Amino acid sequence: MAEDIEDGPAMDARRFAALAEAYGGDLRRWPQAERDAAAAFASSETGQAISRRAHTLDALLDSYRVRHPGKALHDTILRTADRYIVRRRRQRFWWLGLGLAGIGLAGAIAGLALVTVVTPEVQPDHYVLDANATAFGDAGPDMIEEDL
Amino acid sequence: MSADPDEELVRRVGAGDPAAVQTLVARKLPRILSLAVRMLGDAAEAEDVAQETFVRIWRHASSWRRGNARFDSWIHRVTLNLCYDRLRRRRELVTDDLPDMADPAPLPDAREEPHRVEQALQAIAPRQREAIILVYYQEMSNIEAAATLKISVDALESLLSRGRRALQMILARDGVHD
């Protein structure tokens, strides 16, 4: 029903007629700030005449009623809701799965990087170079047991 | 701004709560359907509009945030926009397929009072019809109706006055109203 936070103008026949013309004869539809003044004016002869005219059209508007929604429409709408909600849940799970996979992948990469940084590099035995090593092998003095 | 009575329900619908979905349909379907029926004057088209409105609700419920309008005002705006799309399409069809002669046969139930009121509502300007439906039938306050129509309260009162005057003229011409 009507409500208005602003103070309305003082009620007179002109204002009362303007409001009745807009909102009809039922004061519950009128701007809230003007209802008390309007109710007081409505008891006057002029007020009664204006209200009567407005109520005539209100009664005609009241006669036009709309049927309540049928069960078929109600059920169809609920079915569409199911479809949307199920789809949204699936999307949510899909994104959750993708997020978890992403977190797992990021963890694996971080772990690999950590292992690479922390673990010291191990040189293979056959690739140990020292001052005596040449392309033909170790050119240092042969040290065999017989020489010792 | 006062609290929105639908806000918590919409949040639950957005979270996929089946009980909230049922409550929302029970609460809003009669309002949406009656708005569409009175805007379009066609029950079948109004049912299509109601379904489309709910599809938009399901799509937006999880991300719906209250801005300047309440949820009820938002769904009224969505429904009205969908009704306007259909009214525009109708106008295009009428322009394209104008019959050579008007059908002289009287409309069914043409003498019936509610039917005359329905026809009179369809005959007035759509913006005036919107204003009357929101304030009179949907029982919105003047401030809510003005916010839904994105106009001032003064402009709303002007639409209402002109709409009611036009209805009175049409109904008086048809012998329904003095």
Each residue of B135-144: pLDDT tens digit? 999 999 999 9
| Token couple for B89 | 């399409």
Fold assignment, B1-98? Rna Polymerase Sigma Factor; Chain: A (1.10.1740)
Tell me which CATH code domain B104-178 carries.
Answer: 1.10.10.10
Q: Distance between CA atoms of A61 and A57, rounded to whole angstroms?
A: 6
Any domain includes A32: yes
CA distance B142 to chain A (A): 5
Cβ atoms within 10 A of the Cβ of B42, count? 15
- Identify whether residues A57 and A87 lie together within a single domain: no
Verify whether the Cβ–Cβ distance A56 to B177 is below 8 Å. yes
Each residue of B73-98: pLDDT tens digit? 999 999 999 999 999 988 777 655 54
| Domain span at A43 | 13-63
Nearest CA in chain B to A20: B161
- Identify whether residues A20 and A58 lie together within a single domain: yes
Each residue of A81-120: pLDDT tens digit? 988 877 776 676 677 777 777 888 888 888 888 888 777 6
- pLDDT grade for A5, boundaries at 50, 70 and 90: very low
- pLDDT grade for B102, boundaries at 50, 70 and 90: very low
Domain ranges, ordered by start, for chain B:
1-98, 104-178
Q: Write down the pLDDT at residue B106.
A: 46
List of residues 6+ apart from A57 with CB closer than 8 A: A24, B164, B167, B168, B171, B177
- Identify whether residues A55 and A20 lie together within a single domain: yes
B71 compared with A147, residue with greater pLDDT: B71
Please state the domain count of chain A: 2
Each residue of A48-82: pLDDT tens digit? 999 999 999 999 999 999 999 999 999 999 999 98
Greatest C-alpha distance within chain B: 55
* Residue type, position B69, single letter: A
- Identify whether residues A115 and A88 lie together within a single domain: yes
pLDDT at B32 over 90: yes
Each residue of A15-51: pLDDT tens digit? 999 999 999 999 999 999 999 999 999 999 999 999 9
The closest CB to that of B54, out of A56, A80, A89, belongs to: A80
Backbone φ and ψ for B161, nearest 5 degrees, come out as -60, -45
